[in-house]
Chain A
Amino acid sequence: MQWETVIGLEVHVQLATQSKIFSGASTAYGAEPNTQACAVDLGMPGVLPVVNENAVAMAVRFGLAIGAEIPEVSIFERKNYFYPDLPKGYQTSQMAQPIVGPGTIDITLDDGTVNAVRIHHAHLEEDAGKSMHESFHGMTGIDLNRAGTPLLEIVSEPDMRSAREASAYVRALHAIVTYMGISDGNMAEGSMRCDVNVSVRPKGQEAFGTRAEIKNVNSFRFIEQAIECEVERQIDLIEDGGKVVQETRLFDPDLNETRSMRTKEEANDYRYFPCPDLLPMMLDDAYIEHQRSLLPELPSEKRQRFETALGLSAYDASVLASSRAMADYFEQAMQSCGDAKLAANWVQGDLSARLNKAGLDISESPVSATQLGELLARIKDDTINGKAAKQVFADLWDCKGETADQIIEARGLKQVTDTAAIEAIVDQVITDNPVQVTQYREAEPDKRGKMIGFFVGQAMKASRGTANPQQVNALIKSKLDALL
């Protein structure tokens, strides 16, 4: 039988606020356990939450970025359950009236087509602390530094049909939140955590199959792996006459398998009800419009502008707009050299290749966007040719000079554009290679074009690469043709 996979995601994005969602304690990562938890975070008797306006603003801007409606009223509710790292015995979250209503996120598939994934809603909530099971000799330690960190939970519709689509969705989401600066997007530190709902159904069937939820998958790669092995498990199970049960599962990347965590029957009744300590949030049009005015250019808008205003190909535009860091680098380099296509080629070509080889992110590039842009400007104004440019780039990478101009000067890479000087070199090459000249003259006219390459190469070699290749090319052609 042919099977179709159906995937929906719940992604918890940690918002990049300075303080927690309901207290003034710091949200910085990596502090000593329990040093960033105040009385409110500890759930001390008598304390009360006060909502962090910045977290609200970030959530609203996210909603606007995905074209969602922002309801006039949204409500915090309590999700009640007991857990040692949940200090109050409830998590303050949202349920019936979340801050962000339905919206859409565009994802780019491998073949370049763009799909819209519908967002069901996004809601604000507080994070819990961490239970630490190591180094307490059979006991459990609790670190409440993370308790109260603001999270935006983004819930998609079950619109994805493959592991690749799911990871493309998470990448697109990652790009949006990091573009907007509302999250650092650091998946290793848990700034983005994904719960993946997976089900399968016979191709053509409309009704969804029973889904399993894989909790807390924390890298693009693991998302794909987890889905792939879960789909395989479900199909095998059904084909062997079994039934998928609704349950929560964990992905083990070491064994590349998912394991049952708890079934639906073991699930909590969370007894949601509106939190009486927090008034309903009323967001008026003026506030929403103000937040809209603070929105940066988003990935999809940037992609479009790269295509239409800068004349880049759809592929180049989508690669360059894929992350804020990449787009910013490209735009800075372009500004310094004044040539979008040249900048696009270099950023995706030489620069990306070096970065990949060194395992660096573009934000960590030893060659700054301005340095690269200045180098490209020298190609554009014919000071150097492409070959020399590669040498300059290598030197910049190795920090052998501050600017491209310094390196060009020091290495004597300045392109020779003096026609007389080039003519002398060309004449010498023709004189030195009579055999090739004869071959050229005797060749069929349509073969001669290719044969010019030999003479150009010799001339470039003689100029130690500094001659302007276009000039050399033109001059050789006219001189050889004169001998016909």
Chain B
Amino acid sequence: MHDLTLADIAKGLARGDYSSRELTQHYLSRIESLDRRLNSFITVTGEHALAAADAADAARQSGQAGILAGVPLAYKDIFCTEGVRTSCGSRMLDSFKAPYDATVVEKLKLAGTVSLGKTNMDEFAMGSSNETSFYGPVRNPWNTDLVPGGSSGGSAAAVAAGLTPAALGTDTGGSIRQPAAFCGITGLKPTYGRVSRYGMVAYASSLDQGGPMARTAEDCALLLNAMAGHDPRDSTSVARAVPDYTQSLAEPLKGLKIGLPREYFGEGLDGGVETAVRDAIKVYEALGAQVIDVSLPHTRLAIPTYYVIAPAEASSNLSRYDGVRFGHRCDAPTDLMDLYKRSRVEGFGEEVKRRILIGTHTLSEGFFDAYYKKAQQVRRLIRQDFLDAFDKVDVLMGPAAPTPAFELGNQADPVQMYLQDIYTIAINLAGIPGISVPAGFAGDRPVGLQILAPHFSEAHLLNVAHAFQMQTDWHTRRPALTADE
């Protein structure tokens, strides 16, 4: 049952093969028995889930169920969920129960989905390995010595392990696509502004975007249908019609022009990853696509640019965690300064503090022009790189990450860790959508093919990803977690 795709589950529910309660029960018991090894969930909301499942079953009985009614899923613990702890992977918010639902949570609730709980993540979404979580690292279901990627590592691992058919993630510099690649699942980062950010705890506001993580492109399309759209509570969400993303999945790809950015196949790229990605591109050629060599000349500036802009925004976004109104407060503060300092020193982990320091520094008087302003200028050049490339090609393809999943505790140097995002980070700076689809293995470690498309062309992106999944079975591969798997 847990090997089914979301689309299969929806059909099964519609046919009455099983009830939502049975499904939900099944996933809850899998979480119960397997997640001790993976640590992919921070909070499991079993009772809520069963109640929602019963409501969905009742709705179906009375003929009022939508396509996603009764489908279980999980939320990265960055999405506010009313009355349920929303920790953002931080001690700072360990005791925080959100008083409201994020817009996407509200929309998916309205669609009748069942939330199994909240998944583990790098603290405040800062990390590429899920090792910065206050709740301990998540382990990769393919090999528990490996990291699942980050920051949406809990969501990726939970989907890969069949603990949930789908999960929501957020992607600020690759946080959906890189863990999707590491765990062998499909993960979509929509165009900035396509999905409301209201109720998503902010890391870097101009880059954060929520998106679906599931087995297939079709599953992502189903979820995006429910998630996307303008939200009057988010000024940066875009008032633009939402197509039915499942409608165009099967369009033929003949004549598709694929650009291969030469900068994405250079030094530092793991041989096994490169082989898998190049093999995947051959599949497209066999479908009648044309492959063209392109250049994104400012690629090497993406990581330094990101590490100015994201920490700058983060340093401001995280100022609200001051121990005054919610979140961690130190014991017996002697005065206001002591309250601020100790609450923040105790509440935040090392990586979060590092980025707050970087961001505070780059915004400081005398440094602002050299760092933040310059970074914004470079950001426009990076965006222009993509716009120029899309004048010549329909989509861009390359690896989602330079290496497959690495061993836990193996990346002690933060700068080395930042380089993990070399192929994903520019996409956030440009605001375009990107998807990572399973494209084979480097040794025994999954590899993700990243596909990029122009702003707001998620329908086409999903179409291209779906075509690949019709030709390959990488997305059906499962890690063996129990003796009989």
Contacts and interface: CB of A to CB of B under 8 A. Distances in A.
Interface stretch (A40-48, A192-200, A447-455): A40-48
B226 interface: no
A45 B363 contact: no
A43 B320 contact: yes
A90 B202 contact: no
Contacts of B364: 269, 271
A271 B368 CA distance: 8
Interface stretch (B55-63, B92-100, B126-134, B381-389): B92-100
Given A88-B319, A271-B363, A50 B200 contact: no
Interface stretch (B161-169, B181-189, B228-236): B228-236
Given A45-B93, A273-B312, A273-B368, A89 B326 contact: no
A48 B206 CA distance: 12
B365 interface: yes
Contacts of B234: 48, 50
B235 A46 contact: no
A276 B313 contact: yes
B205 A277 contact: yes
Most buried by A among B202, B324, B368: B324
A48 B233 contact: yes
Q: What DSSP secondary structure best describes chain B's contact surface?
A: loop
Interface in B72-99: 79-80, 86, 88, 93, 96, 98-99
A45 B86 contact: yes
Contacts of B197: 48
Nearest to B87: A45
Nearest to B231: A48
A442 to B, nearest CB: 93
Interface string B294-325: 00000000000000000011011011101011
A277 B235 contact: yes
Given A39-B99, A46-B102, A89-B320, A51 B201 contact: no
Interface residues of A, number: 28
A74 to B, nearest CB: 14
Given A84-B324, A277-B236, A47 B319 contact: no
A49 interface: yes
Given A45-B80, A46-B98, A82 B340 contact: yes
Most buried by B among A46, A47, A49, A80: A46
Contact of A80 (B86, B88, B235, B319): B319
A130 to B, nearest CB: 14
A278 interface: yes
Contacts, number: 97
Contacts of B236: 48, 276-277, 279
A87 interface: yes
Contacts of B27: none
Interface string A274-307: 0011110000000000000000000000000000
B360 interface: yes
Interface string B213-256: 00000000000000000001111100000000000000000000
A45 B62 CA distance: 38
A43 B326 CA distance: 10
B348 interface: no
Nearest to A40: B233
Nearest to B208: A276
B210 to A, nearest CB: 11
Given A84-B336, A276-B205, A89 B319 contact: yes
Nearest to B326: A44
Contacts of B41: none
Contact of A89 (B99, B205, B316): B316
Nearest to A84: B324
B326 A142 contact: no
Nearest to A269: B365
Contacts of A80: 315-316, 319, 363
Give the contact-size bracket for chain B.
Answer: 35 or more
B65 to A, nearest CB: 29
A208 to B, nearest CB: 22
Contacts of B372: 273
A78 interface: yes
A49 B235 contact: yes
B322 A89 contact: yes
B166 to A, nearest CB: 21
A270 to B, nearest CB: 9
Interface in B112-145: none
Contacts of B206: 276
A279 B431 CA distance: 14
B199 interface: yes
Contact of B324 (A47, A78, A142, A271): A142
Nearest to B198: A48
Contacts of B316: 78, 80, 89-90, 271, 273
A476 to B, nearest CB: 80
A46 B80 contact: yes
Contacts of A142: 324-325
A47 B99 contact: no
Interface string A27-43: 00000000000010011
Most buried by A among B100, B205, B322: B322
B191 to A, nearest CB: 15
A45 B340 contact: no
B319 A82 contact: yes
Interface in A425-447: none
B170 to A, nearest CB: 11
Given A80-B316, A88-B320, A273-B372, A42 B325 contact: yes
Most buried by A among B79, B233, B316, B363: B316
A165 B240 CA distance: 53
Contacts of B200: 46
B326 to A, nearest CB: 7
A47 B232 CA distance: 12
B475 to A, nearest CB: 31
A39 B235 contact: no
Contacts of A278: 235
Contacts of A272: 363, 368
A90 B100 contact: no
A45 B197 CA distance: 11
Contacts of A279: 235-236
Contacts of B86: 45-46
Interface in B271-293: none
Nearest to B205: A276
Contacts of A90: 316, 319
A277 B200 CA distance: 12
A231 to B, nearest CB: 31
Contacts of A271: 315-316, 360, 363-365, 368
Nearest to B201: A45
Contacts of B320: 43, 45, 87-89
Q: Which 3 A-B pairs have the closest CB atoms?
A: A89-B319, A271-B363, A276-B205
Given A46-B102, A89-B319, 8 more contacts: A45-B320, A48-B233, A80-B315, A82-B322, A84-B324, A269-B364, A271-B368, A276-B206
10 contacts: A43-B325, A45-B320, A49-B235, A89-B318, A89-B322, A90-B319, A271-B316, A271-B365, A271-B368, A273-B372
Interface of B: 79-80, 86, 88, 93, 96, 98-100, 102, 197-202, 204-206, 232-236, 312-313, 315-316, 318-320, 322, 324-326, 336, 340, 360, 363-365, 368, 372
